[in-house]
Structure 1
Amino acid sequence: MKAQVFRGVNQLSYEEVPMPEIAPDEVLVQVKVVGLCQSDIKKIRYPLYEPPRIFGHETAGAIAKVGSEVQGWEVGRRVVVMHHIPCMRCEYCLNDNFSMCDDYKNITTTAGFNPSGGGFAQYVKVPGHIVRNGGLIPIPDATTFEQASFVEPTNCCLKAVKKAQIAPGQTVLVTGAGPIGLMFVMLVKYFGGKAIATDLLPSRIEKALNVGAEAAFDARDPDLPAKIQAITNGLGVDTTLLAVPSEKAFFQALDCTRKGGKILFFAEFPESVEFPLNPNILYRREIDLMGSYSSSYRLQSLAADIVFNRRIDVDALISDRYPLEDLSKAVEQAIAPTPETYKILLYP
């Protein structure tokens, strides 16, 4: 089969690799669509992992082979593949910190080499513990493979929205109106909140308004805090979701978030970034800083429901489609997006 093999920093090789062999409790899935995620791009561009590996994890496809011990799944079933499932027994899992679980962090879906997701290939092997514990999600007939590939990123965004306890009537600032920021705008609206978005690109500012933002501004606007104060009756937003790894965005969030509000870090910052922060700002204004990493097992069914029942419009996020052989071109476009670049999908 064909796959995009990571051979080193910025070195992708579209090559022939052996078809994964499955054990009796495993399933082989033919990949129909896989989304390109910012985390994939980081893994390709920086020396984070030893090659060779096959990345890709926002995977939707059809079951091509079923192990002899597998029950409840058959060849041809359309499925979303969740690339990691927590153990449900460790202290992290028992406290709902599923993404901190060692089993969760140890990705085991694979198309060959060190298991690393495996979605950037024609076929991916799903190990037994993922098959048994909810890591395969059946796709309804009315849902396309493209739409289904959004279940995993929707779960990640949904986890952040739930962690920040965004509620009806609240106002939320979303910094960055790329595909993740736009999904945040949709989810905030779905849960009854009002989203305000910022970005550097006029097209993305307009897009945020189109998908449901109450207001959207240029992030460089020096009057941004005053404009947000005006929208929020002088208070500031209840919550800010940092969807871009920008130091300026963080300090902007401090200026725009009300007393007693929350700032949630969703985007991962470079390791070298440090913020000079007077802790009295947090103390006196009682602002909560929090982080949200990856997805939540507890929200898996809700994420699927939101996508499958079109409670948000994931189709509006898709801007580009590439054959898998052009993954390098897709990565380059994601790094240097055009004004109309949002979510990029790949087709093995």
Structure 2
Amino acid sequence: MKAQVFRGVNQLSYEDISIPEIGADEVLVQVRVVGLCQSDIKKIRYPLYEPPRIFGHETAGVISAIGEAVTDWQVGQRVVVMHHIPCMRCAYCLNENFSMCDTYKRITTTAGFVPSGGGFAEYVKVPGHIVRNGGLIPIPDSVTFEQASFVEPTNCCLKAVKKAKVEPGQTVLITGAGPIGLMFAMLVKYFGARAIATDLIPARIEKALNVGAEAAFDARDPDLSAKIKALTGGMGVDICLLAVPSEKAFFQGLDCTRKGGKILFFAEFPDEVEIPINPNILYRRELDLMGSYSSSYRLQALAADIVFNRRIDVDKLVSDRYPLKELTAAVERAVQPTPETYKILLYPENGKE
């Protein structure tokens, strides 16, 4: 089969490798669509992992083989592959901190080499732990593979929205209107709150309005805080979701969030970044700072329901489609986006929808 093998920083090699052999409790999935995630881009562009590896985890495809001990799945079923499933027994899982679980963090889906997701290949092997514990999600006939590939990123955003306790009638500031920020805008609206988005690119500001934001502004607007206060009766927003790793965006969010409000870090900052803040600001204004990393097992069914029943329109997020052999070009497009670049999807040679 063909696969994009990570051979070193910014070194992707489109190679012929063996199709993974499956064990008795494992499943082999033929990849039809895989989304390009910011975490994939970081793994490719920075020295975070030893090569060789095959990344990619926003995967939708068709079961092509099952082990003899697999009873609940059949060849030909259309499925979403979840690459993270927690153990459900450790102290983190018992406190519903599923993404802190060691089993959750240890990726086991693979197309070869050290298990690293495996979606950037024609076939991916799903281990028994994932198969048995909800890591395969059947795709309804009415849902395309493209739409289904959004279940995992939707879960990640949904977790943040739930953690921030977005409620009907609230106002939420979303910093950044890339694919994640736009999904936040959709989810905020779905849960009955008002979304305000910021970005540096005019087309993305317009796109935010198109997908459901009540207002959207240029992040460089010197009157940004005043405009947001005017939209919120002088109070400021209830919640700020940081969808870009920007120190300036954080301080804008701090400026625009009301007393007693919340600021949630969703985008991952570079490790060397440190943000100085006077703790009395948090104390006197009773602000909550929080972070949200990855997905939540508890929200998996809801994320699938939201995507499969079109409660948000994920089709509006897709801007670019590349064959898998052009993954390097897709990464470059994501790193240097055009004004119209949002979500990028990739297709192995074995066929499109």
Aligned CA RMSD, in angstroms, stands at 0.3
Letter in 1 for 2:193: G
Quote the offset at 1:72 in angstroms. Answer: 1.1
Q: Which residue of 2 aligns with 1:322?
A: 322
Gaps of 5+ in 1: none
Q: Which residue of 2 aligns with 1:149?
A: 149
Letter in 2 for 1:154: T
Q: Which residue of 1 aligns with 2:303?
A: 303
Matched, 1:232 2:247: no
Q: Which residue of 2 aligns with 1:342?
A: 342
Gaps of 5+ in 2: 349-353
User: TM-score, normalised to structure 1's length?
Assistant: 1.00
Q: Which runs of 4+ in 1 moved over 3 A?
A: none
Provide the secondary structure at the position in 2 that maps to 1:197. strand
Provide the secondary structure at the position in 2 that maps to 1:39. helix
Quote the offset at 1:333 in angstroms. Answer: 0.3
Q: Which residue of 2 aligns with 1:103?
A: 103
Identity %: 84
For the residues of structure 2 that align with 1:148 and 1:20, how far apart are their CA atoms?
Answer: 23
Letter in 1 for 2:278: N
For the residues of structure 1 that align with 2:32 and 2:276, how far apart are their CA atoms?
Answer: 46
For the residues of structure 1 that align with 2:71 and 2:167, how far apart are their CA atoms?
Answer: 40
Q: Deviations over 1:188-212 (max 9, x none)?
A: 0000000000000000000000000
For the residues of structure 2 that align with 1:164 and 1:213, how far apart are their CA atoms?
Answer: 18
Quote the offset at 1:181 in angstroms. Answer: 0.1
For the residues of structure 1 that align with 2:276 and 2:163, how far apart are their CA atoms?
Answer: 25
Q: Deviations over 1:241-266 (max 9, x none)?
A: 00000000000011000000000000
For the residues of structure 2 that align with 1:74 and 1:112, how far apart are their CA atoms?
Answer: 23
Equivalent positions of 1:200-215 (< 5 A) are 200-215=200-215
For the residues of structure 1 that align with 2:110 and 2:54, how far apart are their CA atoms?
Answer: 7
Quote the offset at 1:84 in angstroms. Answer: 1.3
Quote the offset at 1:328 in angstroms. Answer: 0.2
Letter in 2 for 1:44: I
Letter in 2 for 1:35: G
Q: Which residue of 1 aligns with 2:256?
A: 256
Provide the secondary structure at the position in 1 that maps to 2:196. strand
Letter in 2 for 1:87: C
Q: Which residue of 2 aligns with 1:164?
A: 164
Q: Which residue of 1 aligns with 2:65?
A: 65
For the residues of structure 2 that align with 1:301 and 1:280, how far apart are their CA atoms?
Answer: 40
For the residues of structure 2 that align with 1:174 and 1:253, how far apart are their CA atoms?
Answer: 9
For the residues of structure 2 that align with 1:84 and 1:237, how far apart are their CA atoms?
Answer: 33
Q: Deviations over 1:244-297 (max 9, x none)?
A: 000000000110000000000000000010011100000000000000000000
User: TM-score, normalised to structure 2's length?
Assistant: 0.98
For the residues of structure 2 that align with 1:182 and 1:193, how far apart are their CA atoms?
Answer: 14
